[in-house]
Structure 1
Amino acid sequence: MASSFALRRLHMRGKGGLCKCLQKVDTFLHRTIGTNAVGRCGSLHAVQAERLEQAQRSILISCYSRPTEKKFLKYLSRHGDVKKYFFYESYGVYAVVEFANRDGVASLLEEAVIPSVSNEALVPFKSRLLSLKNLSSVDSNQQSGLQCQPQTSIPINQLIQRLSREESIDQQVVSLTETYQLTDENIRLRFLVCSLLQDIAAAYFPECTIKPFGSSVNGFGKLGCDLDMILDLDGISGGKPKSVLSLEFQLKRANSERAVTQSILSVIGECVDQFGPGCVGVQKILNARCPLLRFAHQPSGFQCDLTASNRVAIKSTELLYLYGELDPRVRSLVFTVRCWARTHGITSGIPGAWITNFSLTIMVLFFLQKRSPPIIPTLDHLAELAGSADKCVIEGNDCTFVIDISKIQLQSNTETLEHLLREFFEFYATFAFSKMSINIRKGKEQNKPEVAPLHIQNPFETSLNISKNVNATQLDRFVALCQESLWLLQQSGTNTPRVGNRSNTATPWGLATLLLPSQVAGVKSRKKRRREPASERIKGLLDSLKNNSQPKKRKKNTK
């Protein structure tokens, strides 16, 4: 495994402390993104397949009264072997329960009844979202014993205190990654929501699959991030190739694939809006470049986007997952830079002129490709290693790259996370944004093909600029904050652990100081001054010295 090879090299080169930190986060990522059965050699396809199977054996239960875990488990065990369960809070207490096989789910659904409510009309729509009532609950003094798994990240002030107690900046970066990344429980919940929506879509498209993509599965997702899903119809079987029968009743012709996507999402959107349990605020955004449905799933607390044709985004998800698997420093640095950017308003959850998380991630990958030696390979190199099974062309765009991680040989780079973080800020504080484009396919700067403050080439749709929305003001703020953060990390007073006056309070230092808003208060409104040519600056300096050397003329007294 490539990541294990990287860790072994670090250990052999004497980087024991860094190796220990990276091994810690590497193990945690292995436990959350994949499962023990799949392992780190498994592709994203294998990980998703196992997660989807888990979701098919799972149910979501709303617990109106908090039951004791013992009685809760005893009740469910009557229907089958419970493999895993956990509780969480979102508009009430919910439980996710995974049975050892689907028979347990079927048995539980057979016992469930359709409730009767006076003065209201009910739609008898069955789903795996159930409500549990009248199971004897604990009293108020015992309720605290029910452990609910967190589904959102901790506040920034708590994170700063946690980081301030670490002993090195490397450990701070690893601690931030562990704190913010998706937990195993949160990933299970995301796949379960996809599975519940798949039950609705399957009424129209049997054998279809709804699966997550983007930050939910690429390894860079933060607790609380949106849930992006795709309705996959490619897996629907069509029988024997030479059969004399065709499924005309399932096939209607349309002018374009886009029109088909719009029709599919329109119908499913109506069904989700009318009958989808817990789905509220359904919006049909069908005229966007990539048509989608947007809604909130209240039982999980997720903001959801469902599309049916964004296949390039699927390949981007696979690529980011691959890069994250190659070296644990990749994910750690991305999490750190993203957290830093969100804290200072460089990125935002609201669409606008801000740098997006995807653009910021590509910038981190590009920086790691530019190290000497490179920490990760270029996309072109990954394409060269691809076999025939990896070949992929989507709408004329070459999306080919190797999937088997064991085929990728990494170069020996032992730079610490602290050094990489400092170098990242220096790299982009001096980057020639006015002339150059960022390109992870080539791994080197290229002349801008268009006039835009920030140009980052789309890895697959190479004619597109993924940062086209960013304006000059936001780019200037990013550069200014990089300069400010670099300066802070270079100061001896801020990169050394310090102990606060009180035993339970630690004084911010290192990475924690970069997350303090007060440190960059003056940067937010600072405008980047236009840099004059060197000859003009020297000429201005000489003129200034000449004027200062001449004696000032005394003013005549006119009185």
Structure 2
Amino acid sequence: GTVMEPDVESLPRGGFRCRLCHVVAANKPSLHDHLQGKKHQRLESLRAKRQDQELRSVFVSGFHKGTSAYELNEYFQGFGGVASVVMDKDKGVYAIVELQDQEVLEKVLAHSHHCLGEQRLRVKPREKKEFKYMPPKKQGSTQHEQLSPEKLVQALCQADDVDAQMLQLVQLFEFSERERRLRHLLVTLFQEVFSEFFPGCAILPFGSSVNGFDIHGCDLDLFLDLEKTKTFQASAKGPQGSQVNEGAGPDSDSEDSILSDIDLATATVPEVLELVAAVLRKCVPGVHSVQAVPSARRPVVKFCHKDSGLLGDISINNRLALCNTRFLQLCTEADERVRPLVYALRNPFGGGPLLNNYALTLLVLFFLQTRSPPVLPTVAQLWELKGEGDPTIVDGWDCSFPQDASRLEPSTNTESLCSLLAEFFHVFGDHDFAGCVISLREGRALPLPSFLLSEAGAKLKLGHFNVQDPFELSHNVAANVNEKTAVRFQHCCRHGAKHCRSLQYQRKSSKGKAWGLVRLFQPGVPEQLCQARDFRRCWFGKVCAAITFLLKDVLKCSCTERAGEPLGQRPTEQGEEEQPITESKHPRSEEGGSFAVSPPRKRLRTEGQAPEEEGSMSWACAVWHHVWMGRRRVRRQLRHLGSPQPDEAQEVEEKVTEAIIQQEGDSRGAEPLLSFTACARVGGGQEDTRTLLYFTPDPQQGPLFQDFYHFLQGFLPRMVERYVGRAMSLSEAKPAP
């Protein structure tokens, strides 16, 4: 008979499945026992509770970033009881507010204008979602517990010498057996699934997962080899390209299911990537956030494995990566000092290296090739040792080298890890990276003038840091390194060389203080602060130039620059307020890190004084038209009239301002609508690069200034960031030779 229970479905071969609990019952008595059991009853009760909560909850957004759950609770208490407030932990841009009952919900939804901290809130009923039971994770979860810096320092300081510290770094950061097993199981799962859709294909891991330089949490890079699938597809077609009905082999059904709609031999890369993405989305359990990226240098499909949190990507035309991976493996097998040296130079304390992992690893291998005597052979020397079965040409490049490390002669170099690390810093502290090309094939730095005359020189993208791929000779693996990063890398090497000459590096502290690698990766504070001050001064000047441009040229305010006046010393009349806009979109100057952008804080602060800083900038401003009103409407009108829209945001905003002024009438009145003083200062701490912009309205400005100020809160941070970003990109752009 038909089972009427909505959570139960009949299975094709008999038995039943409970969709709520993910449980299969062989017959009706077993099903009845399950439905009356504690697990099903508990989940039914939990589902009813969640659904009731959904019916009493609202989705809230639009509040200032940094707004607390307490502030939202206080606000909605004005309509009645609030059961709970759940904030978005990741981005802090929305919240779910559960109200006490349906009556309070109706009051909240009936209110048309919600406002918190001068910011309008968007409030709507919570989206109804299907209840899904997530089984608890078993003990021994695949997620690796991150090693805290404190525990890492403690572990390294207990080692006997620097060599022992470097070996311990490898043990602390390399994969555990559980991680290796997880990745192997995932590769096996992918192989089984993709073989169903692409007969004869192979899923091959490459990169950090398998090249010998694995580190907890690194991405899983996979290559989908479709060569045999193309052969299968071609053989499964008749003379006119039609499907052969007989003799196509046992995999014909698989070919019919997905390959009949696409010819792999002629399909474009984006088409194949979309096909791969479709298989990942629909057929591989536990995989989500699938995204095809055909525009990358090596087009990939990105994905995330839900249970482990592991990120990965699949490429379809990256066969050279397999050769590079095997080459790195060969180097680690050739000498046991290779891995500890690379792990130590990745700098676990400073947020990672200034170069990407592959470029840094090749730089270490090049360094070991150039020691006297050499620790590693050059690629050219490896080519002479190749055997008959070793690969030769891959994607047009000669990738011949022995696959077996036993063919290599052991190195006669006896330098310790401690000494090699010190020499690495010494060698590259003054290296002319921009004036030569580091070649692992030849094992030497090729001078730029002679290199440019070679065949590879005509194709290699040269920059401030040139490291040639050992096989794809037209690829500079450090081409994305700009001049500032190259200088910082050399600065770090000089700092490292200096530290390695001290007793704090070479000898273990008898008093329990940091020593060896630990001190090496904790640069001197005075030197950092000096660099930070120089950077802050430069950055502050760029921000002030942007503010002047936006007020004067984009918003058409009268804007007169004047010497900075320390806030808190100028007398203010009764009712006058100093109102700051905190501009937090700024690059951070940190040793070993890269520029980072943090979201803007737009909370209104009307108390306290501006921090005392070494410099400030002030402007006396006047506004003659309502340039902050109706800007969105005017943008739509301009688009409707077919007005050309410039590419740059500030040029668009300038046209909007001009249109508003024209609509109001070009002539100015006897008195401006608003007049105020703006004062910019650098943020509080010595390493703080935020610019705080304080506004002091003239007396009796009233609500009109408040409206203008709230417009500036959203407008200025966003536009300053774009203006400064554009100026910096233009200043770094150089004409092609």
Q: Sort the TM-score into its range (normalised by shorter chain).
A: 0.5 to 0.7
User: Measured at CA, do residues 193 and 255 of structure 1 come closer, stay the same or move farther in structure 2, by a change above 3 Å?
Assistant: closer
2:475 corresponds in structure 1 to 464
Instruction: Give the secondary-structure state (helix, strand or coil) at the position aligned to 2:289.
Output: strand
1:213 corresponds in structure 2 to 206
CA positional deviation for 1:319: 0.4
Q: Which amino acid aligns with 1:314?
A: L
- Contact residue 160 and residue 515 of structure 1 kept, 8 A: no
Instruction: Give the secondary-structure state (helix, strand or coil) at the position aligned to 2:175.
Output: coil
- Contact residue 489 and residue 495 of structure 1 kept, 8 A: yes
- Structure 2: how far apart are the matches of 1:470 and 1:396? 27
Mapping for residues 165-244 of structure 1, pairs under 5 Å: 165-234=158-227
Q: Which amino acid aligns with 2:291?
A: Q
Instruction: Give the secondary-structure state (helix, strand or coil) at the position aligned to 1:438.
Output: strand
Structure 1: runs of 5 or more not aligned: 1-109, 119-132, 135-142, 348-353, 501-505, 529-559
1:509 corresponds in structure 2 to 515
2:689 corresponds in structure 1 to none
- Pairs aligned (count): 383
User: Does 2:381 align with 1:384?
Assistant: no
1:439 corresponds in structure 2 to 439
2:349 corresponds in structure 1 to 343
Instruction: Give the secondary-structure state (helix, strand or coil) at the position aligned to 1:389.
Output: coil
- Contact residue 369 and residue 378 of structure 1 kept, 8 A: yes
- Structure 1: how far apart are the matches of 2:186 and 2:362? 28
- Contact residue 142 and residue 182 of structure 2 kept, 8 A: no
CA positional deviation for 1:300: 1.8
- Structure 2: how far apart are the matches of 1:192 and 1:263? 28
User: Measured at CA, do residues 173 and 382 of structure 1 come closer, stay the same or move farther in structure 2, by a change above 3 Å?
Assistant: same
User: Measured at CA, do residues 261 and 242 of structure 1 come closer, stay the same or move farther in structure 2, by a change above 3 Å?
Assistant: closer
Which deviations, in whole Å up to 9, do the C-alpha atoms of 1:237-292 show, x marking residues without a partner?
Answer: 968x9999899644779899684543232112123223432212111102323221
User: Measured at CA, do residues 514 and 213 of structure 1 come closer, stay the same or move farther in structure 2, by a change above 3 Å?
Assistant: same
User: Does 2:327 align with 1:319?
Assistant: yes
Mapping for residues 218-297 of structure 1, pairs under 5 Å: 218-234=211-227, 249=243, 250=255, 259-297=267-305
CA positional deviation for 1:486: 1.4
- Structure 1: how far apart are the matches of 2:514 and 2:147? 17
Instruction: Give the secondary-structure state (helix, strand or coil) at the position aligned to 1:203.
Output: helix
User: Measured at CA, do residues 254 and 204 of structure 1 come closer, stay the same or move farther in structure 2, by a change above 3 Å?
Assistant: closer
- Contact residue 377 and residue 410 of structure 1 kept, 8 A: no
1:374 corresponds in structure 2 to 374
Q: 2:149 aligns with which of 156, 159, 177?
A: 156
2:420 corresponds in structure 1 to 420
Instruction: Give the secondary-structure state (helix, strand or coil) at the position aligned to 1:493.
Output: helix
- Contact residue 221 and residue 312 of structure 2 kept, 8 A: yes
Which deviations, in whole Å up to 9, do the C-alpha atoms of 1:58-92 show, x marking residues without a partner?
Answer: xxxxxxxxxxxxxxxxxxxxxxxxxxxxxxxxxxx
- Structure 1: how far apart are the matches of 2:263 and 2:222? 25
Q: 1:521 aligns with which of 511, 518, 528?
A: 528
User: Does 2:233 align with 1:330?
Assistant: no
CA positional deviation for 1:322: 0.5
User: Measured at CA, do residues 389 and 435 of structure 1 come closer, stay the same or move farther in structure 2, by a change above 3 Å?
Assistant: same
Which deviations, in whole Å up to 9, do the C-alpha atoms of 1:84-133 show, x marking residues without a partner?
Answer: xxxxxxxxxxxxxxxxxxxxxxxxxx999865139xxxxxxxxxxxxxx9
User: Measured at CA, do residues 312 and 474 of structure 1 come closer, stay the same or move farther in structure 2, by a change above 3 Å?
Assistant: same
- Structure 1: how far apart are the matches of 2:297 and 2:322? 16
* Alignment root-mean-square deviation, CA: 3.5
Q: Considering Cα pairs closer than 8 Å and 6+ residues apart, tell me whether 1 or 2 has the greater RCO.
A: 1
- Contact residue 168 and residue 497 of structure 1 kept, 8 A: yes
- Structure 1: how far apart are the matches of 2:492 and 2:142? 35
- Name the % identity: 32
- Structure 2: how far apart are the matches of 1:443 and 1:437? 11
Which deviations, in whole Å up to 9, do the C-alpha atoms of 1:475-522 show, x marking residues without a partner?
Answer: 11111011111111211234321245xxxxx42101111222555735
- Structure 2: how far apart are the matches of 1:524 and 1:322? 41
1:480 corresponds in structure 2 to 491
User: Measured at CA, do residues 225 and 244 of structure 1 come closer, stay the same or move farther in structure 2, by a change above 3 Å?
Assistant: closer
1:302 corresponds in structure 2 to 310
Structure 2: runs of 5 or more not aligned: 1-12, 22-37, 40-135, 244-254, 453-460, 536-737
- Contact residue 143 and residue 308 of structure 2 kept, 8 A: no
- Contact residue 216 and residue 228 of structure 1 kept, 8 A: yes
- Structure 2: how far apart are the matches of 1:216 and 1:401? 21
CA positional deviation for 1:471: 0.2
CA positional deviation for 1:399: 1.2
- Structure 2: how far apart are the matches of 1:495 and 1:275? 55
